[in-house]
Every structure is written in C-alpha cells, then in structure tokens.
Amino acid sequence: MIGRVGKALKYGDNINTDIISPPAYMELPIEEAAKYAMYPIDPDFAKRCNPGDIFVTENNCGSGSSRETAPLALRQLGIRTILAKSYARIFYRNCINLGILAIECKDTHEISADDKLQVDYEKGIIQNLTTGKSYVCDKIPPHIIELVSSGGLISYLKKKL
Amino acid sequence: MGMTMTEKILARASGKDYAKAGDILWIKVDQAMMDDILGPRVQISEQMELLGAKVWDSSKVTIISDHYTPPANARQAEIVKFTREWAMKNGIENYHEFEGPCHQVMVEKGRVAPGDVVVGTDSHTCMYGALGAFSTGIGSTEMVGVLATGEIWLKVPQTIRFQFEGKLSKGVMAKDVILRSIGIIGHHGATYKAIEFTGSTFDSMLMDERLCVTNMAVEAGAKNGIIAYDQITKQYLDSIGVKGGHIFTSDVDAEYCESYNLRAEEIEPLCACPHEVDNVTEIKNVQGRQIHQAYIGSCTGGRYNDLKLAAKLLKGHKVAKGVRLLVSPASREIWDRCAKEGILSDLSEAGAVVLASSCGACLGIHSGAIGAGEVCISSTNRNFIGRMGSKQGEVYLASPLSVAASAITGELTDPRQFL
Ligand code: SF4
C-alpha cells in the first residue's frame, strides 16, 4: 500500500465551517454550494481543486458548526484526504462518516501549497515528494479505514445490515 | 473514583452503573433534534430511503424550521416546505416553524429533561446542559444512524471545570462569563471535552442566563457544557411543566482534567473581536470603534431577560443616527411576553426594529445581513469571517447590555456608563 498521492491545498489555523461552507450558499444544492467552498478567504478554491487533492490546514480544522455541508462540499470537489494538526470534534466525525480520511499530522506547517504529497495512512507516514521531506502522521485504526474505504457510514451500514 | 455529571448521564444512557472518561459507549438517545438547514434535506431523507430505515421512535424526534423562516426567497421556502413535509411523512408530531431558533424552542417546549441525552444537527445543541442534561451537536449522516436505531456511539469526555465564585458586577452578564471562559482556554481548549460550570455565581444566575453560558461551550470546542440541577433548574422546569428526568451531580472526588477558579467580581463587560470567538478583550479596550448595526437576538442572546435589560437601558435614549438596532426575540413565547410587558414597545420607541423570531441575522441569511466595511455588535455566538454577511464585514460579540449601549452611542461602548 503506497497510500494516496495528491497535490496540497494549503491553509493555516482555524479553517472553520463558515469558511468551508459559507451560510449564504447553504440553501443551494451541494453541487452548486461547493463552488463557494472557502469563498471568504479563497474565492478561487473550487476552481483550483482537482480530484485527489489533499486539503491541508493547521490547528483546529473545521471548528464551529455541525454542518455536514462543509465536508460534503470538499468531497464534491474531489477531496478524499485531509491533513491537519488538530480537528474540531464534529467536523472530524462528519469527515469519517462521509468517507473522507481526516488525518492528524503535527508537521503540516512544513507543507506548502501545491506540494505533491504521498500519504501512507496505514504506516502513518507522509512523503512530501516536492521537498523530499517526510512527516509522521497518526496511523488510522483498521475500523476507520474500513469505514472510509466503504465510502462512509451509510455504505458501511448497508454492507453490514 | 467518583464520577462527573457527564459520566453519570452517559453511564445511565448506556445501561451501566459506571463510566469513565475515555470509555466508548453505545448510548440510547432520549431526544433527537433537527432543524431545517441541516435536517432532513442534508443527507438524512435520501440516506434513510437508501437504507430502507424508519424513524425508531417518532415521539423522541423534534424538528424545527428556524433558519429559513421567514424564507427570504423561493429556495429557502422550498427547504422549509421539504422539512415540514418530511416531518409529516415520518409521523413527527413535534414539528415547529416560525417559532424561533431551535434550541430555545426545544427547551421551552419541554423537550429536554435533566439527565437526558439529546443530540441535534446543530452545534449549539450543547445548550441544554443548563438543564442538567447531556446534549451535543452531530452531523447529518450520524443523525441517520440515530434515527434508524435510536443509538449513537460516544466517547465519554474528560471534563474541564470552571468555577466562578461571587456575584457579577452591575452591567456584567452571563455572556461575559462565557466569553471570559473561552478567552482563557481558547477556541479549541475544550475539544472532545465537557465543560462543567459551577460555583456560587451560578447559584443566583437565572435560567435565561445559564442557557447563554452552556450554549457557547462549543465555541471552545466542547462536546457538551453542563450545569448541575438545583432550585433554579427546578423552578424553571416547573414553570414550563417538565416532569421526570434524572438528577445527577458530580461526586466530590470526580476527576477533572483541568480546573479554573475565577472571581465573578473581576469580570468586566467583554467582547470577542473579529473573527474568532476567543479573541476576547474588555469592551473598554475597543471603545470608540464605530458600528453600523447592533443585533440582539439568537439562541444565545435573545431571551426574555436579555430583551428586558436592553429595553431598560435604552429607555429614554435613542439609537444613534446611522445605526440600526435589530432585535429578534429568541422565540414566539418570548415575543409574546415582551409584548405584554411593554418591552417591545420600549425597544421600538428607542429606535429598534423588532424582527421575527428566527436565526436569520445570526448567520447572515436574511433579516439583517451586513455589507462590506460594516461593523456589527451582536449578542450572538459566532463572529467568524463572513458569518453575518459580507466577508469584509466585522462582528463583535458582546452581551445584550453592551449591544444596547453601543446602539445609543454608535460605537462600541461599555454599558456601565448607562447604568
Ligand atoms: S440563532 Fe444562530 S446560533 Fe442559534 S441555532 Fe440559529 S443560527 Fe444557530
């Protein structure tokens, strides 16, 4: 397993749910709403996103609301992996439930925008293919990997039920 | 080793006598709450169908359309309609709309009893801890699991204790108490944890005020905020006709991961500056900053006592030229009571515009969004960038008294000069 390879979309501390999913656009269907993800601080975010990109932030990622439209918007834009130094509780659970791998890594400040990353979540190692550095990240427990690779809680439940 | 209140509630809800922070438990949910913005329309309706699942117990589900009422456009109207129809189709009798922000409605309608476990698709669900319950916000997908099974897995949180002793000074409100607490531990100081508020300051604190404190526990990242059941809880629950529940208090030898001891007299009127809730300072330090909008409302700062005190402060004064003071009572019941007691007309006479009981302005989706370069002082709970409208706007969070005082002067103002 070499893990996931993708380009870093990089932000700092406290990327809260109002930034990821601005309230003004929540009334739109998710395909439309996703175009405004990160709009308050980066209006071009959606345009720059490519499937497989890795969303990288620093402390307290996803703080604020319980709105699942935040991880849903990221998923809509093709993001399946998030790295952050720490997460807000509800956002973390929402990501996992939607099949997005949210991984804790204390060194995300060393990652820059557009760095190419290879995330081996089973071993807990991230290779920065652009700078040649490597970082340690939390190993993901097997039951979470199973959940995420089923595509999230619902698909997982369907398989189990 | 003794247990905290939170540990006791979760132990009981999982059919155990004992639970300890770190345990992962399957919890039976007493009440599940959904709103319009994050309720059935986001994942829930679709996924329930996909799973072929039915609501496990419709008497334990409450749905409240509050964010998009009154709808500002056809899209919002469609969401309310969808929510209403979904409630009906699924036999949810506890459906409310146009009654005010969900959390206030939940409490007033008696949907929460002490010792209950309540989950809701809104982060400020943690407010019900003021009634001695465990309550927390969850995502929509997780709500599907709850609706289908009546259960959820939760990790029992460690508890941070905030002990406030003494009496709050004149002009200082519960909002200042919670802003002080968040200022100390920071906006992720309580992530994954419970916050228990205790001490003599709370002994004389009205339920209206206690609810403001627990409402904002999530602004420090907390899973839940909680205050022990006492005479004030009892009186409040009696007044709304809530019976039953289970009373839990923390043992003297319960384990806390952190404890803070504060003196109430030392707290001054505070505000959280843009764009983070832990960016807290005494309002006198930013006094003089010009404002364009002042907002008293929301599940945090739009209760009866808030409006009453604001109206009293405003009496005999006028809102400054160039400033709009918007007031949204946090529920229809509060609206009625304030109307009967002349509070709404006092507010109106001072120049306030009284709005429908709704979430609207709190998250900038209707009835009071701010434009670029505009500054708003607000009794709500979040000042994130773009929260109340333009991302070039600024929101300062403060007590209803501070909002009222600032509306008179047209700039951020310490309310004590009017008291
Ligand atoms: S009033 Fe504001 S904080 Fe309360 S439920 Fe509504 S949007 Fe959320």
- pLDDT of the residue at B228: 98
Distance B140 CA to ligand 1 centre (A): 17
Write out chain B residues lying below 8 Å of A68, CB-based. 38, 42-43, 139-141
Residue pairs spanning A and B at CB distance below 8 A? 120
Distance B19 CA to ligand 1 centre (A): 32
Write out chain A residues lying below 8 Å of B37, CB-based. 26-27, 67
Mean pLDDT of A26-30: 96
Q: Structure pTM?
A: 0.96
- pLDDT of the residue at A2: 59
Query: Ligand 1: does its nearest atom lie under 6 Å from the Cβ of B104?
Result: no
Query: Ligand 1: does its nearest atom lie under 6 Å from the Cβ of B298?
Result: yes
Residue ranges of chain B whose pLDDT lies below 50: none
A90 is written with which tokens? 């509800």
- pLDDT of the residue at B102: 98
- pLDDT of the residue at A122: 87
Strand pairing partners for B281?
B271
**B38 touching A (Cβ < 8 Å):** yes
Query: Ligand 1: does its nearest atom lie under 6 Å from the Cβ of B124?
Result: yes
pLDDT tens digits, residue range B354-406?
Answer: 999 999 999 999 999 999 999 999 999 999 999 999 999 999 999 999 999 99
Reference B139, options A96, A60, A132; nearest CA is A96
d(CA B241, CA B106): 13
H/E element, B151:
strand B151-155
> Between chains, do A28 and B142 touch, taking CB under 8 Å as contact?
no
B window 58-87, beta carbon within 8 A of A: 68, 73, 75-76, 79
B window 115-154, beta carbon within 8 A of A: 120-123, 125, 137-142, 144-145, 148
A134 close to A126: Cβ distance less than 8 angstroms: yes
pLDDT tens digits, residue range A129-155?
Answer: 999 999 999 888 887 888 888 888 888
End-to-end Cα separation, chain A, in angstroms: 29
Distance B228 CA to ligand 1 centre (A): 24
- pLDDT of the residue at A144: 83
> Between chains, do A158 and B51 touch, taking CB under 8 Å as contact?
yes
Q: How close, in Å, is residue B340 to chain A by CA atoms?
A: 34
d(CA B6, CA B190): 14
What atom of ligand 1 comes closest to residue B330's alpha carbon?
1
**A21 touching B (Cβ < 8 Å):** no
> Between chains, do A88 and B221 touch, taking CB under 8 Å as contact?
yes
- pLDDT of the residue at A151: 87
Q: Whose CA is nearest to atom 6 of ligand 1?
A: B359
Domains of chain B: 5-262 (3.30.499.10), 271-418 (3.30.499.10)
- pLDDT of the residue at B264: 98
Mean pLDDT of chain B: 97
Reference B142, options A16, A138, A84, A147; nearest CA is A147
Reply yes or no on whether the pLDDT at A1 is more than 60: no
Neighbouring residues of A99: CB distance < 8 A, sequence distance ≥ 6:
A75, A80, A147, A148, A149, A150, A151, A152, A155
Reply yes or no on whether the pLDDT at A3 is more than 80: no
- pLDDT of the residue at B204: 94
**B54 touching A (Cβ < 8 Å):** no
Reference B261, options B198, B206, B205; nearest CA is B198
